[in-house]
Amino acid sequence: MSDTSLRGKVAVIGIGLSAVGKVPGRSPLSLAAEAASKALADAGLDKSKVDGVLSSHAFASPFHRFSVAFSEYFGIRPTFSNTLQVSGATAATMFGIGAAAIHGGLAKVVLLTAADSLMTGLTPDLALRSLTESRDQQYEMPFGIPVANTFAMTAHRHMKEFGTTPEQLAEVAVVHRRHAARTPGAQQTTPISSADVLNSPMVTTPYHKLDCSLISDGGAAFVLTSAEHAQELGIEKPVYILGCGECYTHEHIFLMPSLTMTGAVESSQRAYAMAGYGPTDMDVAGIYDCFTGTVIMMLEDLGFCRKGEGGPFVADGQMSYGGQIPSNTHGGLLSFAHSGMPGSLFHFHEVIAQLRGQCGARQVEGAELGLVHSLGAGFATNATTVLGTRGAL
């Protein structure tokens, strides 16, 4: 492996979550600060040790430079800072860029933190408008096409090409809700059946309400440093960033190269190659689940099953405990919480906690290697991260 590879060079030494779900009276900055304080306490570090901050944009916040506004709010003065925006893929890019900054000497301790208050900070009309206005102003916004419709198009094509059924889509939601029932603080824990999903109101065909992710408040934070510094600090069980990969295939849905194969193929292959492991080596996964069909396509494109076999894979129980790849064991965006661009950070928190063996009743026994995949904008942006407790080879 090349000296320039990030494999095992950077460790995650602290993780933190804010309250999630419906959290009234709290700004995105406040939620991000809560998560950051918990992550630093988990790492055993004072905030004065942080010299790098990465964050994402928040829809319910007026700050375009959220990382800078956060630093002022939190009382720190970093010498490396950026606010990233590649839609839902932003979470995984934060880990890659944070690791690169540390490996390149731009910072010693990087704090990743992001939050939003989509549930209580925006009215439903404003939430929909923010998603719609994120589309192209010339070709897509005039027709009122929100992000949900673009994902629905891909699901329709997958169903037509491979025979994926509404029942298989519904099973994705059922599995996530079952996982959330084991997770303290999850937004939705009431058990649901496939019939419940199929009988819930139609949002945009083929997606019913329970096929769609939640709208939530909440944030997460992580502390990154070099593997050497983690050892100097006496961190008992650091989780290492082993591989990172990204891929950006299009901006407009009508220019998506394929409606059934995404940039996750490329991003995951890059992450696997850097890590030196493949999909069959993964013990646990966090897979972006904005819609049920998204999960089915990602299980295929990330290499956990063949293209077109994602529906039967889920129906056979392969993404839950005892299956090939336990995924979204916290309940995911479908049942734990989804606060917009920070949403996939909840996947990172869960996978890292699993690798640390801290998940109690939902623990995946013996988990040592994990994958998190983040995506957004109608599959336009894809980013994959491989994490593990094994360090560098």
pLDDT digits (tens, 9 = 90+) for 231-275: 999 998 899 999 999 999 998 888 899 999 999 999 999 999 999
C-alpha neighbours within 13 Å on the C-beta side of residue 194: 10
Domain of 54 in residue numbering reads as 10-122+217-233
Q: State whether 152 and 223 are in the same domain.
A: no
CA 230, CA 241: separation in Å to the nearest integer? 13
- 79/227 same-domain check: yes
pTM of full prediction above 0.85: yes
Q: What separation, in Å, do the N-terminal and C-terminal C-alpha atoms of the chain show?
A: 9
Tell me if 128 is assigned to some domain: no
Q: In sequence order, what are the residues at sequence separation of 6 or more whose Cβ sits closer than 8 angstroms to the Cβ of residue 64?
A: 57, 83
Give the domain-ending residue among 233, 265, 283.
233
Q: Which residues pair with 115 in a beta bridge?
A: 219
Domain assignment present for residue 328? The answer is yes
**What per-residue confidence (pLDDT) applies to 127?**
60
- d(Cα 279, Cα 272) in Å, to the nearest integer? 8
Of 201, 233, 265, the last residue of a domain is 233
Same domain? 178 vs 292: yes
309 and 224 in one domain? no
Residues 205, 179 share a domain: yes
pLDDT attached to residue 388: 98
The answer to the question of residue 134 being in a domain is: no
In a domain, residue 61? The reply is yes
CA distance 89 to 66: 17
Number of domain units in the chain: 2
Residues 161 and 291 in one domain: yes
Q: Which pLDDT value is given to residue 139?
A: 66
pLDDT at 147: 79
Q: How confident is the model at residue 134 (pLDDT cuts 50, 70, 90)?
A: low
Q: Looking at residue 149, what is its pLDDT?
A: 87
Q: Are residues 151 and 225 in the same domain?
A: no
pLDDT tier for residue 323 given thresholds of 50, 70 and 90: very high
Clarify whether residues 225 and 267 are in a common domain. no
Q: Are residues 287 and 362 in the same domain?
A: yes
Q: Answer yes or no: is 108 within a domain.
A: yes
Give me the DSSP letters along 87-132. TBTHHHHHHHHHHHHHHTTS-SEEEEEEEEETTTSS-HHHHHHHHH
